[in-house]
Each structure stands twice: as structure tokens, then as C-alpha cells.
Structure 1
Amino acid sequence: MTLNPGTVLPLAFTTYVVYKAMSPSDNIREITWQDFRSTFLDRGLVDRLVVLNRNRVKVFLRNDGQAGSIPGTLGQPYGTTYTFSIGSVEAFERKLDEAQSELGIPGSERIPVSYRDEVNLLGTLIHFAPTLILVGVLVFMAKKGGGGAGQGIFGVGKSKAKLFNQETDIAVKFKDVAGMDEAKVEIMEFVKFLKNPAAYEKLGAKIPKGAILSGPPGTGKTLLAKATAGEAGVPFLSVSGSEFVEMFVGVGASRVRDLFASAKKHSPCIIFVDEIDAIGKARGKGGQFGGNDERESTLNQLLVEMDGFGSSEHIVVLAGTNRPDVLDDALMRPGRFDRHIAIDRPDIKGRNDIFQVHLRPIKTEEDLAKLGQKLAALTPGFSGADIHNVCNEAALIAARHNKETVVEADFEAAIERVIVGLEKKSKVLSPEEKKTVAYHEAGHAVAGWYLEHADPLLKVSIIPRGVGALGYAQYLPKDQYLYSTQQLMDRMCMTLGGRVSEHIFFGTITTGAQDDLQKVTKMAYAQVATYGMDDELGPLSYGNQDNKDQFTKPYSEKTGQIIDNQARSLIGKAFRKTTDLLMEKRADVEKVAKLLMEKEVLNRADMERLLGKRPFQDKLHELLGTEVTPQDEKYINPSDASAPIIPPTTPAL
């Protein structure tokens, strides 16, 4: 370690001063009054006395040019200084006068006494040490404290927004954002305005002041905001909603003012407030206290600042949130956040576009166009973040096996890893449990095989995975937004297949069907109370029954009993239908279960060999972009990690 001379010299000087202050001098000896009287005063060796700080006396002896030691001092030299303590000056003066009177010393020859005050450096430092430490702590907090940006506590009201320069930091363009074509069309108007505001202003038009980007997590809200700034070529101020909230009262409002003042200096620019629901929640009607009151003052300041924008300031405010339903109405009105842009999970075309973006940096020899289409078909319901995770996991899997390039099997194994977790090779099932799981999953597979509106089966496994999954059946659901009563009934029957199979073949039931029953119960109550599909209750909808913030039910007690009875009746009907189907196909269930116990993993080709072609056209080969045949080894070999994987519509056992 190299020491700076500018640091070493002051440190050495301080150490020397402290050492000299703490270490007593070799020429100073402590004595008592009796020693002073008998050894020095009675012998006439005292030259003068000095009273220091009114509590200590320093004795100066006559030298007269003598060498050697002082008589009666055990060899002490003449240059030694002696001191002794006194209780008070008055008592010392009285005793000294009495002693000199006893010795017969005349008044003109008596020992002179002087008085002097001395400051002890070490004692002074120790005395003021607490004050110095407190001052040092305050200085440190002022420089390094929680104000951010090197401003300490004096800058606690300053905004923490990060400024990205369009020339160096924002390299994201709209070409890097895929799967949200409609959102890009809506937000393109902001880009055009920031690039050429005169074209709008000459016609008297005013650009919307802000836009709310709402949607599920991982759908690309922040990425779209960055792309907007990158396309417009303007500065980009990014801040999180939680950064406005501090323990100090008024800090949030101060940071909002500072943020908009900074934006005006960099105009034209874009402000992006991520997770705005941290400060933008709907205000309560009653009085609020503590943190809620601070949050409301921050929200009020944000409303004031957005109203204060002029048409010539050229500042656009974008905000992202996963919960647009909790935002305050005043925040959402025209004049503040004018545009509400919903960004949902992408459809199959959008997923293909996102895969093409994330496949670019991956080293692979596969045809990216065909690979992206197939992976998009295998990943319904995936967000952009999920797709990025799949591509990264595929590269990690290939590197783990020391491959030169990433192949298709690695991507499909990565999808399986993301959906159902790692294979639990250490979890060994007993023969009885393995048989129960095999018949449970066979019941799901066979029920779905012979139900017209069930999703196409891709894979069924009894290999434990994830946290508690002992087995799972995976299907390929299509992108569908409307469901009929018959489609919902077939889905319920397919979900109940595992429970019914246990009941038929073992005469008893296990806890493995809990997840299935929860899903079926939710579907039944949704049909009765939300979708208005029950004949007795009629075409009435009571909203989402899963709303935990709703403390009162929007219907009477009698209506609640009708809903319970009808939901129970609907589940009973589905249970009986599934029982009749599996009793009829009992031999097929046994064949599938026995092969599962032997091979542990079955795919669609194995199911076709056992049960024949599915009696309904499911267009699976069109979705995957390839014809599924028993000759395709990727589907025949159940131990091959390349078997296609998609999110299971039937929960794992």
C-alpha cells in the first residue's frame, strides 16, 4: 500500500504530540510536602516555587553551578524538577509561612512564590472528545448521507432520477422491441411530436402530456419507454415511484418538484416513472396518517406539476404499472395521463417476433425462422421476460454439456426447466406411490384424449419435478379468448380425470388431486357467478370472486346458497361424465399407466401407438410446424430432453 506524504506527515506529528503529552518527562519527580520540607526547604536548597493551576507546586532548586547529585535525594542530579500536589492555595501559603518562621528565615529572604495556569493538550482533547465526535458524524452525514448524488442530508429533497443521454446510453430502438405492435403504433405519436413539434403546433394541436403503460410483469413496459426515448433522440429521465417516498415529511413532494425542474432544463425530454402505483394509489376519503399522508402529498404535487406543463415545454411523462385499477382518478384524467396503453402478453406471432430478437446473440446453427415459430407455439402465455429467460437457459444448458452451439433440444429443455423446474433425481417414489401417480396421470391423459374440446396432449410424466410436483401432464392450449359451456365442461372433466382414475382403480383417493380440485372449483364458481351460465341463477354476473379487497358480497345470503348449490351440482355433473368416460376406457387407462410405470415419460407418439389417432382434429402439427408421426424419434424417445414442452393446463400432482 502506497502512503501519501500529505497524509503521513500530519499523522506522524499528531502521534508525536499525543506521545509527548501522555509520557511524563524523565526530569520531573513527584514528591510529598514532607519530602519537600525535610529534603529541600530545611536545607535551604529551594530557589523559588511556582503554583500551577492552583493545585500543584513546581519546586526550582538552587544550582550554583554545582555538579553531581543533590544530597539526600538518592543520587538525583541537580537539574531534576520536583512537584507536589496541594489541596488549596490558602492552606499551602499558611503551611509555607509557618515552616519558614520555624526556620527563622527573615521576610526579605523568604522563598518567592508565583502563580501560573497551564493547559494540558491531552486533557483538553479528552474533555472535548464527545463534541468533536458529534461534529465529525454530522460532517460525514452531510457528505455521504441519504440525500444521494453526493449531496448528503442537505440534498435529501433532490430527485434521484437517472439521466440517460440519447447519444451514449439509450441504444434501444423500436426494432429491439417485438410483440407489441399496437402499443408501438400508439406511442409513435409521442416520438413524432418530440422530433417535429412544429408540425402539430401549427395546426393548433397539443400532444398528450403523458401515457400510462399497464400490463402484467415482464411484458416490456420499461423497454418500450426506453425505445421511445431512443427513437425520439431526446434525454430520458428514469425514476422509480418508491424513490419519492422517504421517512422525512415533505421529501416526496420536494423530489417531484426537483424532477420536473430538471426535465425543463433538458427539454425536450421524456420522464419515465416506473411502478407509479407506489405513489399514485387512489386517495382515501377519510383522514390519513403517517406514511399514507406523505404519499398523498407526493401524489398531489405530481398532479400539480403535470397541470403546470405548458404546450411549449415539450416534456412527455410515461409511467408504468402492473396495477392500473388502483390508480387515482385524478391521475388518469385527460390533461395528465391522457393515453392508457395496455401491453398484454404476446400472441403466437408476437412470441415469434420476440424469439427472433433474443435468438440473435445465441450461437446456434438452427434455422432461426423455423425455430422461432416452433418455440412460439410451445410457449403460450409467456411474456417477453419469460422468452428471454428461455433463450438464456438454453445457452446455459448447452454450456453445461460442453456443446459448441445451442441446438433445438436445448431450447425445449429450457422451456421445460422454466415451466416445471428441475428434475428431482434424488426424490425416489415408493412402488405404491409410483403406481398411484401413474394411474392419476393416465386418467388425465386418457380423459383429455377422448374429449373433443380438451387441449392437445404433448407429454405426460411421473418424474418428480419442482417443489412438490410428483407428475404432470402437459398440453398445447391455443390462443383462445372465448369459451363455451361445452368447452368449459370438457376442461373440467379433463382436470378431474386424475381423481376419478384413483377412485376407479384403487377404490380410495389421495391428497394428490388437491390442485386439480381447486382449479375445478374456481371454474365452476366462475361459470355460475361471473359468466352468467347457470339456468337457475340466470344471466347475472357478480364480478370476480377472487377479489380479496372486497369485504362484502354483492348478493344476498340466499343467492350465495344458490351459487354454492349450483357450483356443486356442476362439479358433480362433470365428475359423473368423467367417471362414465374412464369406465368405458378402463383398458386404455391401464395400458397408459403400465407404460408410464415402465418408461416414466410418454409423449404424443406413444399415446398414438397405444390408443390410436385422436378422434378429433386438433391441428397440433400445424402449430408446431411439423407433422407428428411415430417415426419422429424426438417424440418417440421419452428420455430425450428435446420432447416439446408447453405450460401444463392440468396442474401437476
Structure 2
Amino acid sequence: MEDLISFTILTAVAYGLYQAYHSVSGPREITWQEFRTAFLDKGLVDKLVVVNRNTVRVKLHSNATGTMYPQSGTTPTEYYFSIGSVEAFERKLDEAQRELDIPSHERIPVAYREEVSAFSTFLHFAPTLLLVGMFVWLSRRASSGGGSSGGIFGMGRSRAKLFNKETAVKVKFSDVAGMDEAKEEIMEFVHFLKEPARYEKLGAKIPRGAILSGPPGTGKTLIAKATAGEASVPFLSVSGSEFLEMFVGVGPSRVRDLFASAKKHAPCIIFIDEIDAIGKKRGKSGGFGGNDERESTLNQLLVEMDGFGTQTHVVVLAGTNRPDVLDPALMRPGRFDRHIAIDRPDVSGRKGIFQVHLGPLRLSSHLPELSQLAQKLAVLTPGFSGADIANVCNEAALHAARKLHEYVEETDFETAIERVIVGLERKSRVLSKEEKKTVAYHEAGHAVCGWFLEHADPLVKVSIIPRGVGALGYAQYLPAERYLLSTPQMLDRICMTLGGRVSEEIFFGIENITSGAKDDLQKITRMAFEACANLGMNSVIGPVSYGNDDREQFQKPFSEKTGQMLDEEVRKMITNAYNRTRDLLTRHKPDVEKIAQLLLDKEVITREDMIKLLGKRPFDRADDMDKWLAENQKLGTRSAPPPLEPAEVPLPVATSKTETDTQL
């Protein structure tokens, strides 16, 4: 800071000298009219000098007295005035001397001169030189590592926020639900730092760190906040992107400063959010652009976590939703010893999360008690993350306030969930009678296939109300909590997805098939290709896997012949499923008509309506929805379930979340 003050003072002095040079010590500037009336007409001019073709210096006789500026107290030895061009000046001077009847041999001599002032030139370029010098100075100070001052303006200092006993975080583990295993592992680190001697006397070493990985919105940062709230040790929180700057060397300097600050407060916890910003695998970009700075920052982090002199009690927690892109050197034991996966919560986890977020809401007395309401919403929201659940509860309260409700009603939850998942109802999008009929039969085909296929996900709700950007209708299903997917389950899922397209063909003819099944066809093509190319579910291709679809790959991992074989087997699998779906819907054509007519009348039907029309599913398997309906009927509190729709399309190898038609 002292250097900066000196730099500012020097700039001010240079500017003062520049002004003094032009205002005090320099000659006096006059106009042509002043020159003629004060000097030329009185015969006081001895000589004129044209300098650089734009300025004329006036040389007076030695006996000339200063009468032009008596108020100044001094008479300048020289005067000057500016001219536009030499030709115009010469013409005006000749005319003036002719008017004064000055003979040609007595006329004022005019000299021409080219001059360059070193001081003036320097002052003209001074601002540019000062600016360049300032940038060079800043770059050198930043690349020097910052030292104790962290570089100019503290550029090399860490931006980590310190939480200690005075600035404790209010979030506790009691506010975190649905991740009991993760909380247990995180609490181990807190115990390590609170009582290190208990472990060290047995020869154990305190783990250096843990990676919190999982999909977005599952609560990685929240559990880190809860760790800060529960721990009685200092907690430093920083984002991975804060290590990257435009100046070279700032990232490593901030890493050094972060760990130096942590060692001062040891035992201590460091949390780096979104560590993939600096922890990506090295050597992929060829060392161009900002990759060198990112690699330098990563190298410094590796050294600080497991280099010489790392015996202090500092634990590093890091969060990311892209653990696959992290450098292997960062993930090895000794740096991040624990890899804690935080996945989407199951039914019991969702119930706990709903209880946390429903607590602050002013709920209506007509709703079930908090535990029962949370269970009901948890059953009907498979695949929801903690952020999704928090958004649903907040949207319900906002909707109740917009509608001037005194309490949050069940309809508020229904509207909020539909808005979060499907989008707002498009009242301006009015379908024609033919389009509405097509949508109804399309969705009825999905519903009947899901009802009579054993391994298909059971239906929760069908709607033909246009919502969002491109959804003219949708069918929502309640998948079981599966972690494996068998071949029959995948085939049933493909058939269920084809139900809408096949229903259009049966009732309107193949020549009248619409574009509404585009999204369905994309889904089943991906599923069939995944089954043949990666999951080994095809007898012709065999038990091989060519890896996931990587957009960075410029060459397919299989030959042209294998690619042709894959195309044939994928087409064969989809064609067989299509024929099977056509046979099923042909047998249940009256059931499809019943569902379609009810949809045209009510626009929205639920599982209870399906049970009334078609009876219970012909499979002796009751899911969570059936259990909830049975308990609700026993208690005599029957109410239509809210129209919940998870956000993700079911993937071939993941637990199925939902089935949503974005076209129909």
C-alpha cells in the first residue's frame, strides 16, 4: 500500500510540472488580432519564427515595452500564436503589411524551423507509460507469490470465509435429512479433530480429506454447512473458482495462503465447493490458455494436502457433481481418503426432507398430520432431490399467498408440483377437437400398457392439459426403488413407451400418425442401443460393452461391421416390442376407449379412476401408492393424490424415475 501511495504522488508531481511548464515558464499565447493591434501596428516586431508549421513565435525589438499585460506584473520575453496553415498566415501577413504601407525591403522577416521538445514529448506519452508500468508492476507483484501481503490489493490472498465460535453457522445435522450414512461419515472427521489423541495413541492417522459427490441438489453443500455448525473447530469455506484469476500465479498463491491460514487455526476443516473447477485431469488441453494456471493451482493443492510438512490437523472436504473428471492424483488415499456418495434420497429419506421443509409452513387443518402428509408426498415423488423438495414446498407457500389463502392447502401443493415438474398450464394453447382426441388416445395407450404389463411402472396420473413449452399431455408413473434392471423389465418399459404411438395407429390408422411420439421414439432408441451396445442384453452382439456415449470421442469404439450389426439388432428389438404392444392394445381396445373418453371428459385421471374402470392390476404386487390408498380408505380420509411428476426420464441402467411425454 505504501508503494501505491508513492506511485500516486509521483504521478501528481509529474502532472504539476507539466502544468507549470505550460502556464508559468513558457511563452504567452495570443491571437492574431492581439498580435496585429499590440505589436505589428506599433512596429514592435523584429522577427517571426514559424515552428513546426503550426505555431508562430513573435520576436520583439529590444526597446519594446510591455503594455499588453500590465496586470501580470511581468512582461513575457516571447509571444506566440497558432496558425491553421503556412500559406494562409503568409497571405494575412502580406495583406496586413500592405495596409500599413510598409515597404518591401522593411517588411518583417519570417523564418521556418522544426523543433522537437524531449520534455514535452515525454509528458505527452506519460499517461501511456504510467499505465503500462502499472500493469507490469501488478503482474510481477502477483506472480511473486504475494508473500505476507498477498500481492497488491491482497490479490494473492485466499478468499475463504472463516467460521468459528463467534460466526457459527446456524445449520445443524438435525436440519439435514435423507442422508444418514453421509452424516455418519462426516461426523467421523469432526470426532477426529475434537479428540485426535484418542486415535493417534492407537497408531491411526487422521484422514486428510473426503470427496462429497452426487447429482445436483442432493445436499452436498448443505451437509458441509451442517458440519460447520456441528463442529467446535474453525471452518474455512471457499469455492473452487475463486482460485482462478487472469494473473499468473494467483491460484497457487491463494492455495498456499488458504492452508497457511488453516494451519494457524488447526485443528481446522477446509471445505472447497465445486472442486472440479481446479481439479480436472491434467494434460488434456495441451497446455494452452488458462490450462497452465489451473494445473499450477492443482499441483499446489496436491502438495499442500500430502507433501512435506503436512502433519497438522487440517481436514479438507470437497464437493462436486462430476467426480469422473477429477485428477487421479487428487483422488488417491492420502489426499481424499474418503469418497462419500450422496445420491437422491429413497422414500424414507424423502419423508424426512419433507418434514424439515413442511415445518415452517402454515398448513391447513384439513391436511393430514405432518408425518402422514410427508409420507404421502414422499411416496409420490420418486427421484426428487432435496432441492426439488424444497422448491415444491416453497412454491406451494407462494401459490397460497398469491391466491390469498390463510393456510397452505392441498391444492397449493398440487399446483406447485405441477409447476415445478411440468410447467404452468397453457391456457392460451387451445387444442382443436381432433388434436385433443389424438392426445387422449395417445395417453390412454400409455396408461393401458403400463396397467397390463407386469414389469411396467404403475400409473399415478394421466393428463391431457397442455403445460410448459412442448407438453400437450403427460402420463406419470410410480417406479419401484430398483438398483438393477433385468431384460424383461427393460422390454416392458419399451413397450409402455410405445403405447401412445401404437394407440394412434390402431384408432386412427397408420397414415394419420402424428409427430407427438417423437420423444417416445428417442427414448426407446437410446434404451435399446444401451441394452445392445453396453449392457450385454443381446444374444447376437454378445456380452460386450463399448462404453458410454462420450461426446469428446471422435471415433466410434467399434468397427463398421459391428455398427451395422448394432443397427440391425436395435431395430429388431424395437420392432418386436412394437408388435407386442400392438397385440396388447388390440386385445384391450375397449379399455383404451374407456380411458380416452374419461380423459376427454375430465382431462385428468388418477390411479383411483383406473381402478374403477379396469379393476386392480392383474399382478399380486402392491406398491407404495397402493398401500397409501389402502390406508387412506381405512382411515376414511380418501382424497385424490397430488399430481406429482419426477423430473427425469427413466434411464436403462438407473432406477426409473418417471415417464413423461414432452410432445404428447
TM-score above 0.5, yes or no: yes
Equivalent AA in structure 2 for residue 651 of structure 1? D
- Equivalent residue for 2:112? none
Shift of 1:556: 3.5
Correspondent of 1:526 among 530, 538, 562: 530
**Distance in 1 (alpha carbons) for counterparts of 2:124 and 2:65:** 41
Over 3 Å counting, the alpha-carbon distance change for 1:81 and 1:530 in structure 2 is: closer
Matched, 1:243 2:242: yes
Correspondent of 1:33 among 35, 39, 50: 39
Correspondent of 2:454 among 452, 455, 463: 452
Please give the per-residue CA displacement for 1:120-172, whole angstroms capped at 9, x wherever unaligned. Answer: xxxx99995874697599889999xx999998855322222222234324122
Shift of 1:232: 1.7
Shift of 1:244: 1.7
Matched, 1:503 2:509: no
Over 3 Å counting, the alpha-carbon distance change for 1:585 and 1:58 in structure 2 is: farther
**Distance in 1 (alpha carbons) for counterparts of 2:587 and 2:507:** 13
- Equivalent residue for 1:536? 540
Over 3 Å counting, the alpha-carbon distance change for 1:331 and 1:29 in structure 2 is: same
CA RMSD of aligned residues (A): 4.0
Equivalent AA in structure 2 for residue 219 of structure 1? T
Shift of 1:448: 1.3
- Equivalent residue for 1:253? 252
| Structure 1 contact 29–80 (Cα < 8 Å) conserved | no
Shift of 1:440: 0.6
Shift of 1:529: 2.4
- Equivalent residue for 1:344? 343
Over 3 Å counting, the alpha-carbon distance change for 1:57 and 1:408 in structure 2 is: farther
Equivalent AA in structure 1 for residue 590 of structure 2? A
**Distance in 2 (alpha carbons) for counterparts of 1:438 and 1:559:** 41
* Structure 1 residues 547-586: aligned runs within 5 Å: 547-586=550-589
Percent sequence identity over aligned pairs: 64
Over 3 Å counting, the alpha-carbon distance change for 1:351 and 1:150 in structure 2 is: farther
- Equivalent residue for 1:483? 485
Please give the per-residue CA displacement for 1:278-299, whole angstroms capped at 9, x wherever unaligned. Answer: 2111222795232222221211
- Equivalent residue for 2:180? 181
| Structure 1 contact 373–624 (Cα < 8 Å) conserved | no
> Which structure has the larger Rg?
1
* Structure 1 residues 105-120: aligned runs within 5 Å: none
**Distance in 1 (alpha carbons) for counterparts of 2:324 and 2:122:** 61
Over 3 Å counting, the alpha-carbon distance change for 1:339 and 1:431 in structure 2 is: same
Shift of 1:261: 1.4
**Distance in 2 (alpha carbons) for counterparts of 1:58 and 1:389:** 91
Please give the per-residue CA displacement for 1:504-542, whole angstroms capped at 9, x wherever unaligned. Answer: 11113111101111111122222222222222333x131
**Distance in 1 (alpha carbons) for counterparts of 2:287 and 2:79:** 67
Over 3 Å counting, the alpha-carbon distance change for 1:171 and 1:633 in structure 2 is: closer
- Equivalent residue for 1:465? 467
Give the secondary structure class of the aligned counterpart of 1:440: helix
| Structure 1 contact 60–81 (Cα < 8 Å) conserved | no
**Distance in 2 (alpha carbons) for counterparts of 1:59 and 1:233:** 91
Matched, 1:375 2:377: yes
**Distance in 2 (alpha carbons) for counterparts of 1:24 and 1:427:** 77
| Structure 2 contact 629–638 (Cα < 8 Å) conserved | no
Equivalent AA in structure 2 for residue 36 of structure 1? K
- Equivalent residue for 2:313? 314
**Distance in 2 (alpha carbons) for counterparts of 1:625 and 1:615:** 17
Shift of 1:60: 11
Shift of 1:255: 1.7
Shift of 1:80: 12
**Distance in 2 (alpha carbons) for counterparts of 1:86 and 1:521:** 87
Moved more, 483-492 or 151-160: 151-160
* Structure 1 residues 97-108: aligned runs within 5 Å: none
Matched, 1:649 2:649: no
**Distance in 2 (alpha carbons) for counterparts of 1:431 and 1:255:** 65
Equivalent AA in structure 1 for residue 344 of structure 2? R
| Structure 2 contact 413–642 (Cα < 8 Å) conserved | no
Shift of 1:216: 0.6
**Distance in 2 (alpha carbons) for counterparts of 1:404 and 1:286:** 58
Please give the per-residue CA displacement for 1:340-380, whole angstroms capped at 9, x wherever unaligned. Answer: 11111111111111111112221224421111111111111
Matched, 1:436 2:434: no
**Distance in 2 (alpha carbons) for counterparts of 1:168 and 1:80:** 69
Equivalent AA in structure 2 for residue 33 of structure 1? F
- Equivalent residue for 1:514? 518
Structure 1 residues not aligned, in runs of 5+: 1-13, 42-52, 64-69, 88-123, 636-641
Shift of 1:190: 0.5
| Structure 1 contact 58–82 (Cα < 8 Å) conserved | no
Please give the per-residue CA displacement for 1:95-132, whole angstroms capped at 9, x wherever unaligned. Answer: xxxxxxxxxxxxxxxxxxxxxxxxxxxxx999958746
Over 3 Å counting, the alpha-carbon distance change for 1:33 and 1:286 in structure 2 is: closer
Equivalent AA in structure 2 for residue 571 of structure 1? I
Give the secondary structure class of the aligned counterpart of 1:381: coil
- Equivalent residue for 1:329? 328
**Distance in 2 (alpha carbons) for counterparts of 1:261 and 1:80:** 66
Shift of 1:202: 2.0
**Distance in 1 (alpha carbons) for counterparts of 2:468 and 2:385:** 21
**Distance in 2 (alpha carbons) for counterparts of 1:296 and 1:151:** 20
**Distance in 2 (alpha carbons) for counterparts of 1:224 and 1:557:** 48
Equivalent AA in structure 2 for residue 270 of structure 1? I
**Distance in 2 (alpha carbons) for counterparts of 1:211 and 1:310:** 20
- Equivalent residue for 1:403? 405
**Distance in 1 (alpha carbons) for counterparts of 2:553 and 2:588:** 45
Matched, 1:297 2:296: yes
**Distance in 1 (alpha carbons) for counterparts of 2:185 and 2:284:** 34
**Distance in 1 (alpha carbons) for counterparts of 2:601 and 2:287:** 64
Equivalent AA in structure 1 for residue 661 of structure 2? P
Equivalent AA in structure 2 for residue 526 of structure 1? E
**Distance in 1 (alpha carbons) for counterparts of 2:80 and 2:310:** 85
**Distance in 2 (alpha carbons) for counterparts of 1:299 and 1:643:** 48
Moved more, 150-159 or 588-597: 150-159
Equivalent AA in structure 2 for residue 448 of structure 1? G
Shift of 1:187: 1.6
Correspondent of 2:611 among 608, 613, 629: 608
Equivalent AA in structure 2 for residue 410 of structure 1? D
* Structure 1 residues 185-204: aligned runs within 5 Å: 185-204=184-203
- Equivalent residue for 1:96? none
**Distance in 1 (alpha carbons) for counterparts of 2:568 and 2:153:** 65
**Distance in 1 (alpha carbons) for counterparts of 2:135 and 2:573:** 69
Over 3 Å counting, the alpha-carbon distance change for 1:650 and 1:62 in structure 2 is: closer
TM value normalised by structure 1:
0.78
Structure 2 residues not aligned, in runs of 5+: 1-15, 47-55, 82-118, 647-657
Give the secondary structure class of the aligned counterpart of 2:381: coil
Give the secondary structure class of the aligned counterpart of 1:316: strand
| Structure 1 contact 55–85 (Cα < 8 Å) conserved | yes
**Distance in 2 (alpha carbons) for counterparts of 1:60 and 1:634:** 115
* Structure 1 residues 73-84: aligned runs within 5 Å: none
Please give the per-residue CA displacement for 1:312-331, whole angstroms capped at 9, x wherever unaligned. Answer: 41100111111111111111
Equivalent AA in structure 2 for residue 510 of structure 1? T
Equivalent AA in structure 2 for residue 463 of structure 1? I
Correspondent of 1:622 among 601, 623, 627: 627
Shift of 1:444: 0.7
Please give the per-residue CA displacement for 1:559-612, whole angstroms capped at 9, x wherever unaligned. Answer: 333322222211111111110111111122122212222221122232233323
**Distance in 1 (alpha carbons) for counterparts of 2:59 and 2:179:** 89
Matched, 1:386 2:388: yes
| Structure 1 contact 60–82 (Cα < 8 Å) conserved | no
